[in-house]
Amino acid sequence: MRSPAARAATVTCSLALLATLGACSGAGVDGTPGADGVRDPYFPKLGNGGYDVTHYGLTLGYDPDSRHLTGTADITARATKNLSSFNLDLKGLDVSDITVEGKAARFQRAGHELRVRPADELDRGETFRATVRYAGTPETITDDDGSKEGWLPTDDGALALGEPTGSMAWFPGNHHPGDKASYDIEITVPKGLKAVSNGELTRESTKNGRTTFAWHSAEPMASYLATVAVGKYELKRSTTDDGMQVITAVDPARAKASKKVLDELPDILEWSEYNFGPYPFSSTGAIVDRAGHVGYALETQTRPTFPGDFNTGLLVHELAHQWFGDSVTPKSWRDMWLNEGFATYAEWLYEEDNDGDSAQETFDALYDGEYFEDDEDNEALWEFPPAKPTDAASISDSPVYERGGMVIHKIRQAVGDDTFYDIVQGWAKTYRHKNADTRDFTEYVEEHAGGDEARAKVRRIWGDWLYGDGKPDHR
Ligand code: TRP
Ligand code: ZN
């Protein structure tokens, strides 16, 4: 609904501005188009300006045989400026119609940009609902580093993975980590198959040979962490000692092999909470697919996805991401080391606490070039500083992961264990369900380092380890 003030503005516009500027056409007030990207330093066209999504309601249907997806995306958003039009990101698929506030909207596509022009302009601060109906065969996206994401067809269904850009292959949205929202994802699949997603299962019902699974995520989620897994999964529900739901979906071919590791999940969660603070979501679990479908794990929110083969270390890593990445989410893809450095360091800590190498030993092996089997890999660690990846293709390279972990270890060395764990937990608590960048992090650490001497020490770490080129000349 337009406010009376906005309607008055329309009058002003048509009388005064039309004559002088000729800028007021149609229903135009002072609204202008929303930006087609949020200028991410690595992916400038990801996301869109002018609005904030608060909720996605996705109603999907998928038929693995034809690879046909039908979708309705109900997007609730708040305009952050007066908008004559706004963009969504959607790659491939056919859009049949779009409504905004219940009225048919015009739209136009160019690449992955879907420009929507509502019948009535949107006022700054106004909450609006956009509904997009679409269908087609979703695309598998090949990233700059060669890995596959987006919509991945499997032998028995499909898997949707969205880091860093793949979610636009299966639903329209504001696909940048800076705009988090709650989700309801409903998927209908042929009877006999399961459809798994993030959050809690609120409904499962079968009608006319098709089963619908409805999933609810109340806590904010970045779109790259949304997932759908369709297939012959063994779906299991249990609860932790604290009463939290654990939902696992395991490909029957991997059920036996993955049981031992998956059984460790409750203990690893307890260990993580002890170290990082309260778990930030209302359910947990895992999706384990068959080997060969996907070559990596992903920290999909509440329900990380694993390739057929995985071990305790990887489970620790993806669960640590629930705090670092999923709850505290990077403001841009440049801040990726905040995800991967912490998740990698969590693996080292877990080893240290479970009779393995100490984090210091892991750090030393990396510094001494004895960590990786190949000398080339040991060298690659120093290719660029964690906070400044070379380009989009390098955001998942070892300077982001292992050298990122080394930054965290250096902080621990500088401030001591007690202060270190206070910082880790305080960081996770302060930025819980929010976005943060490297600046926020360094400021937080400096403020909580425990005095001028410690502050001076961590400042040197930023220069040498976080932003500095090449291998620091002392450990
Ligand atoms: N984030 C994943 C992990 O740590 C790895 C990963 C998957 C990734 N896809 C990516 C990293 C794309 C960067 C970009 O387990
Ligand atoms: Zn990771």
The domain boundary residue, chosen from 185, 213, 232: 232
Mean pLDDT (whole number) for 250-277: 97
Residue 292: the pLDDT is: 81
Q: Tell me the average pLDDT across 256-264.
A: 96
* 203, 346: one domain: no
Whose Cα sits closest to atom 11 in ligand 1?
396
Residue 298: CB within 6 Å of ligand 1?
yes
In tens, the pLDDT along 78-101 reads: 999 999 999 999 999 999 999 999
CATH number reported for the structural domain that contains residue 61 in this entry: 2.60.40.1730
- Residue 10 has a pLDDT of 43
Q: Is 273 contained in some domain?
A: no
36 burial via Cβ count (<10 Å: 0-12, 13-18, 19+): buried
Question: Per-residue pLDDT for 385 more than 70?
Answer: yes
For a mutational test of ligand 1's pocket, the pick from 163, 293, 345, 402, i.e. the residue with the most ligand atoms closer than 8 A to its C-beta, is 163
Q: Is 89 in the pocket of ligand 1 (CB under 6 A)?
A: no
Specify the number of domains making up the chain. 2
Rounded mean pLDDT, 431-441: 98
Looking up residue 383, the CATH number of its domain turns out to be 1.10.390.10
Establish if 208 belongs to a structural domain: yes
Given strand 103-104, what is the order of strands in its sheet?
A: 103-104, 94-100, 127-136, 68-79, 51-63, 181-190, 210-221, 200-207
Asked whether residue 187 falls in the same domain as residue 47, the answer is yes
In a domain, 194, yes or no: yes
**pLDDT, position 254:** 94
User: What are the tens digits of pLDDT across the range 338-352?
Assistant: 999 999 999 999 999
Residue 22 has pLDDT above 60, yes or no: no
Q: pTM of the prediction?
A: 0.94
Q: Are residues 196 and 343 in the same domain?
A: no
Task: Mark whether 200 and 345 lie in a shared domain.
Answer: no
Whether residue 164 has its Cβ less than 6 Å from ligand 1: yes
Q: What domain range is 453 assigned to?
A: 329-466
Ligand 1, pocket-test mutation among 40, 289, 298, 345, most atoms within 8 A of CB: 298
Q: Please indicate, yes or no, whether residues 223 and 339 belong to a single structural domain of this protein.
A: no
Calculate mean pLDDT across residues 44-55: 97
In this prediction, residues 268-292 reach a mean pLDDT of 96
Q: Which atom of ligand 1 is nearest to the CA of 297?
A: 15
138 touches 208 (CB < 8 A): no
Q: Indicate if the pLDDT at residue 168 is higher than 50.
A: yes
Q: State the distance from the centre of ligand 2 to the C-alpha of 82, rounded, in angstroms.
A: 38
pLDDT at 9 over 80: no
Percent of the chain scored above 70 by pLDDT? 94
Is the CB of 144 inside a 6 Å radius of any atom of ligand 1? Answer: no
Mean pLDDT of the chain: 94
Let me know if residue 159 belongs to a domain: yes
Q: What pLDDT score was predicted for residue 6? A: 43
Same domain, 207 and 85: yes
Task: Check residues 356 and 20 and name the one with the higher pLDDT.
Answer: 356
Return the half-sphere exposure (C-beta side, CA atoms, 13 A cut-off) of residue 65.
4
Same domain for 227 and 88: yes
- Inside any domain, residue 10: no
Which residue, of 197, 232, 267, is where some domain finishes? Answer: 232
DSSP per-residue codes, 208-243: TTEEEEEEEEEEEE-GGG--EEEES-EEEEEE-TT-
Domain endpoint, select from 205, 232, 259? 232
Looking at residue 217, what is its pLDDT?
98
Statement to judge: residues 201 and 85 lie in one domain:
yes
pLDDT of residue 186: 98
Would you state the structure tokens that stand for residue 395, as one six-digit string? 């955001």
**pLDDT given at position 29:** 61
Task: Indicate whether residue 297 lines ligand 1 (CB < 6 A).
Answer: yes
Q: Determine if ligand 1 sits within 6 Å of the CB of residue 316.
A: no
More confident: 20 or 52: 52
> Rounded to an integer, what distance in angstroms lies between the CA atom of residue 88 and that of residue 35?
10
Average pLDDT over residues 25-34: 72
* 28 pLDDT higher than 80: no
164: CA distance to ligand 1 center in Å? Answer: 8
In this prediction, residues 388-403 reach a mean pLDDT of 97
Within-domain flag for 424: yes
Say if residue 224 is in the same domain as residue 343.
no
Q: What pLDDT, on the 0 to 100 scale, is given for residue 121?
A: 97
The answer to whether 56 and 89 have CB atoms below 8 angstroms apart is: no
Residue 392 one-letter amino acid:
A
Are 333 and 227 contained in the same domain?
no
Q: How far is the CA of 318 from the centre of ligand 1 (A)?
A: 10
Tens of pLDDT, residue by residue over 208-249, are 999 999 999 999 999 999 999 999 999 999 999 999 999 999
In a domain, residue 83? The reply is yes
d(CA 338, CA 2): 41
pLDDT band for position 288 (cuts 50, 70, 90): very high
Give the mean model confidence (pLDDT) for residues 459-463. Answer: 98
**Locate tokens 């001591």: which residue?**
416
* Residues 51 and 162 placed together within one structural domain of the fold: yes
pLDDT at 300: 98
Range in 1-10, 155-164, 232-241, 356-365 the model is least confident about: 1-10
Are 219 and 340 part of one and the same domain? Answer: no
Domain-located, residue 447: yes
- Residue 306's pLDDT band, with cuts at 50, 70 and 90, is very high
pLDDT at 463 over 50: yes
